[in-house]
């Protein structure tokens, strides 16, 4: 018979069940603003939002990989676009995103590791992006980039590199859907999680909670089944996982295990 791992976990699950019930009741309220706050609240009290990163997939077999994501408990699909200038690697552009869109049902979380991302925002919208992530280091006019993404009907997100301080985001968190905290140097999959990122997640959590804004914290790079719990505990909402998911023997089950991690 299944048993919770500890009394603390049992109390947590019971409270979740009660809150879940209340959410179902409140969920009958169809006001869109209320619904959007509700979904953020759900993320906060329950399980991790999991976003497998396509970069680690087998590109010879993309259709099969997308089907796996469809059938799994994954919440979003994370797509890494690299230009060989902002980062020292080139990945794929809107054309691949458009093809993948045809076989994938989950929301597309498109991570632009490119200079002048504003030049491509419309192309990625047309290719099927739901969230568009731009880098703070690549955007001298970040506020305008965010306005452009919103005007195109996508959810704006901002990513920042390991050397960038959390305080740099202070005047933008109320404008965006999520922050993508780079826990490795951007450009490649399969790198080791930078331990100092945990401290940055805590700082970000504090800033977001104090401000009371519905901005999610996404962690990108080096997320594994071993460190995911401490990442969530530090205050994360969304786990991006490339190698951990696509190189696993059983990717669907690995996604399930990541989803079961809560804070």
Instruction: Return the active site residues.
Output: 80, 220
Q: In whole angstroms, how far apart are CA 129 and each of 17, 122, 123?
A: 33, 9, 9
Q: Which does 101 bind (CB under 5 to 8 A by kind): ligand DX5, Zn ion, none?
A: none
Which residues 63-102 are close enough to bind Zn ion by CB under 5 A? 80
Radius of gyration of the chain (CA): 18
Tell whether residue 55 is a contact of ligand DX5 (CB under 6 A): yes
DSSP letter, residue 259 = H
| Closest C-alpha to 193, from 245, 230, 138 | 230
Widest Cα–Cα separation across the chain: 56
Tell whether residue 251 is a contact of ligand DX5 (CB under 6 A): no
Residues 193-232: x where in contact with ligand DX5 by CB under 6 A, - otherwise, as a string: ---------------------------xxxx---------
Tell whether residue 53 is a contact of ligand DX5 (CB under 6 A): yes
Tell whether residue 240 is a contact of ligand DX5 (CB under 6 A): yes
Q: Is 210 exposed, middle or buried (0-12, 13-18, 19+ CB in 10 A)?
A: exposed
Our separate counts of H helices and E strands in the chain read 10, 8
Contact window for ligand DX5 (CB under 6 A) among 6-14, 160-168, 185-193, 207-215: 185-193
Tell whether residue 78 is a contact of ligand DX5 (CB under 6 A): yes
Tell whether residue 100 is a contact of ligand DX5 (CB under 6 A): no
Q: In whole angstroms, how far apart are CA 17 and each of 37, 38, 46, 140?
A: 19, 15, 10, 45
Closest CB to Zn ion: residue number: 111
Give the binding site for Zn ion (CB under 5 A). Answer: 80, 111, 220
């Amino acid at each position: 018979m299944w048993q919770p791992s500890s009394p603390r976990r049992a109390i947590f699950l019971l409270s979740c069940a009660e809150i879940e019930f209340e959410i179902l009741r409140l969920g009958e309220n169809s006001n869109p603003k209320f619904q959007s706050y509700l979904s953020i609240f759900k993320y906060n009290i329950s399980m991790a939002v999991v976003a497998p990163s396509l970069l680690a997939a087998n590109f010879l077999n993309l259709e099969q990989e997308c089907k796996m994501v469809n059938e799994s408990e994954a919440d979003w699909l994370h797509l890494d676009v690299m230009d060989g200038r902002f980062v020292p690697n080139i990945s794929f552009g809107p054309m691949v995103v458009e093809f993948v869109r045809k076989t994938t049902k989950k929301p597309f979380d498109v991570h632009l590791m490119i200079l002048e991302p504003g030049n491509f925002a419309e192309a990625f919208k047309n290719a099927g992006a739901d969230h568009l992530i731009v880098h703070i280091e690549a955007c001298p006019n970040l506020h305008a980039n965010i306005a452009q993404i919103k005007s195109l009907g996508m959810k704006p997100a901002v990513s920042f590199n390991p050397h960038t301080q959390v305080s740099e985001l202070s005047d933008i968190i109320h404008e965006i859907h999520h922050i993508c905290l780079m826990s490795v140097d951007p450009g490649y999959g399969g790198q080791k999680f930078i331990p100092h990122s945990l401290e940055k997640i805590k700082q970000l959590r504090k800033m977001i909670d104090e401000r009371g804004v519905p901005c999610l914290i996404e962690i990108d790079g080096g997320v594994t089944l071993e460190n995911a719990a401490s990442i969530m505990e530090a205050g994360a909402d969304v786990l991006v996982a490339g190698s951990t998911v696509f190189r696993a023997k059983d990717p669907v089950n690995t996604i399930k295990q990541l989803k079961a991690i809560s804070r």
